[in-house]
Structure 1
Amino acid sequence: MVMPHTAQVVCTIAVAVVSVLAVIAVSLAWRRTRSSVYPLIMLGGLACVFNEPIVDLLGLCWHPRTGQWRLFETFGRPIPVWAALGYMLVFGIMSAVLFGLLSRGAGYRRLWAGVVVFWLVDLAVELPLLRQGIYIYYGDQPLRVGGFPLTWLLINGLGGLLIAVGIARLPGLFGGRRRWLIVPFMPAMQLLAASIAIPAFSVLNADVSSGWRWVGVLATAVIGVALIDGLIRFAVSGRELIAVPVRAAQALQPEVTSAR
């Protein structure tokens, strides 16, 4: 399998242009609000690309090596340059949107709407790239639309939601000088979200019948929906994930308020 040259050029330029616009917008917001939360979320989204080889290996995804503008390779999986910018846009921007909704006191329906928008953005990015052969999901994978396994909507959506809820409800962890922890926190949450796909990953990487593959994938779908719904219900309750000293909680609050 060869990386299509023209599609790779167009894809890389497109994500680069959108990334520049996103960075400019975040920089202006940072200057206006004096809040470093959103720039750090963008950097955290960029850092999530280092999880790509792991989830590719488990989820049977392949980026063609021949002709690829390679950024790095681990676990025998070559990762192209455009993927890093794509991660910053999908996980950076969409996690920032979900965090913004939480910061403004969004309710149950608005947060679910935010997750649905996350899914639509994910589909808008993935489907055209799959159509051009820039990467593929291989093997007998149920619930595929346009070559895209829909279980990834749940994995990615849960990841973005975990990031947003964690930053908003863990003020003691991200307060003051510890704000930079947002960056490593994001890939950790993305990888945690991928754990819901253990049933799917297990059957996809086993010599089992198509029926068992459907069982594993549907189990992942049920777990994903239940966890997203439960996390949203927790988020709108306004409770913090852990008890923290008042002074630590206040360390994050001023910047959240200024970002509204």
Structure 2
Amino acid sequence: MQPPYQPPIPYGLTPAPSASNIVMIIFGVLALGLIVEAVRDWRRRGQPLMLVLVVAAVVTNLDEGIADHLGFVWYSDIDQDVWYRSFVPMPLWMVPAYIVFFAGLTTVVMRSIDARVTRKSFVLTAVVCWAVNLAIEVPLMSTGVYTYYGDNQPFSVNGFPLYWLVLNATGPLIAAAVLCRFRAFFTGARLLLVIPLLPMCYAASLGAIGFPIFNLLHSAAPQWAVEVGALITILLGLSVWWFVMELAARDGRFNAYYAPAGSQAQAVEVEPRTHAAA
């Protein structure tokens, strides 16, 4: 019986000089801009949904250690401020980074759904979200603030495994779809339920679509099998995006079933049964 695959953890990973400070400043400025927009959105809409999403995004960071343990990710604790430790040391700059990505992405998808975009526009939104994720992670890989380690990481671009594009983005997608569909429920004190909703959606998506690659990464499986596992994870993630698109897009196949609770959208018409005369 072969033992599970466990590559050596890169404890000695050292960031480039001042790298963590620069990353903190960049994400801090972006997070501050998003918080300012959240306050403006509160004034426009009359409820602080975006601000609650900011808090939910910070709480979602508590999922990160589990995801990193499963996906062989390590954050350097050398020359970096760490705000907590679980399976990995969690650098302080992850707080604004999570605000930018998780609160920001959830807001972008919600606004796309609210605007009743077409499927074509929804696909464009998805591509932009993945491109932004790629534009963030690939440059960060060269700074040494964190790394994806192990010899069997599949589909890597400059050290970034591409299957993480769907793993990172699917949780906010699901949360956005739920919030738009049940917006009439998330009002008043119930708005606080958004705080556990976002980390639960992220954790659920990690398990639901990440199990093929995570199982194979930790096994003694050959590299081709790990690549297949990553491909299955990507396809599972894309299937979730497809389903939400068909539900929420204006021309989606299942849009009639998605009208937000309390709206005046036309309900699905069911042909009444006819009974033969006695």
TM range (shorter): 0.7 to 0.9
State the distance in 2 between where 1:22 and 1:43 align: 12
How far does residue 240 in structure 1 lie from its aligned partner after superposition?
Answer: 4.0
Residue number in structure 2 paired with 1:207: 220
Alignment of 1:60-71 (within 5 A): 60-71=72-83
Whether the 8 Å contact between 1:159 and 1:193 is mirrored in structure 2 is yes
Q: Percent identity?
A: 27
TM-score by length of 1: 0.88
How far does residue 70 in structure 1 lie from its aligned partner after superposition?
Answer: 0.2
1:7 aligns with 2:19: yes
SS at match of 1:68: coil
Residue number in structure 2 paired with 1:100: 111
Whether the 8 Å contact between 1:169 and 1:239 is mirrored in structure 2 is no
How far does residue 114 in structure 1 lie from its aligned partner after superposition?
Answer: 1.4
Residue number in structure 2 paired with 1:17: 29
Which of the residues 124, 138, 158 maps onto 1:146? 158
State the distance in 1 between where 2:156 and 2:42 align: 39
Relative to structure 1, the CA distance from residue 205 to residue 164 in structure 2 (aligned partners, 3 Å threshold; closer, same or farther) is same
Whether the 8 Å contact between 2:116 and 2:248 is mirrored in structure 1 is no
Alignment of 1:51-130 (within 5 A): 51-75=63-87, 77-130=88-141
- Unaligned stretches of 5+ residues in structure 2: 1-12, 250-254, 264-278
Q: Amino acid of the residue matched to residue 160 of structure 2?
A: F
Residue number in structure 2 paired with 1:234: 247
Whether the 8 Å contact between 1:44 and 1:92 is mirrored in structure 2 is yes
Which is higher, the Rg of structure 1 or of structure 2? 2
Stretches of 4+ aligned residues off by more than 6 angstroms: none
State the distance in 1 between where 2:37 and 2:239 align: 34
Alignment deviations for residues 225-260 of structure 1 (CA, whole Å, 9 cap, x no partner): 12211121122315349xx9xxxx44xx7xxxxxxx
Q: Amino acid of the residue matched to residue 90 of structure 1?
A: F
State the distance in 1 between where 2:206 and 2:184 align: 25
TM-score by length of 2: 0.82
Residue number in structure 1 paired with 2:231: 218
Whether the 8 Å contact between 1:44 and 1:187 is mirrored in structure 2 is yes
Higher helix share: 1
State the distance in 2 between where 1:238 and 1:170 align: 15
Give the RMSD, CA atoms, in angstroms. 1.8
Whether the 8 Å contact between 1:26 and 1:38 is mirrored in structure 2 is yes
Residue number in structure 1 paired with 2:6: none
SS at match of 2:83: strand
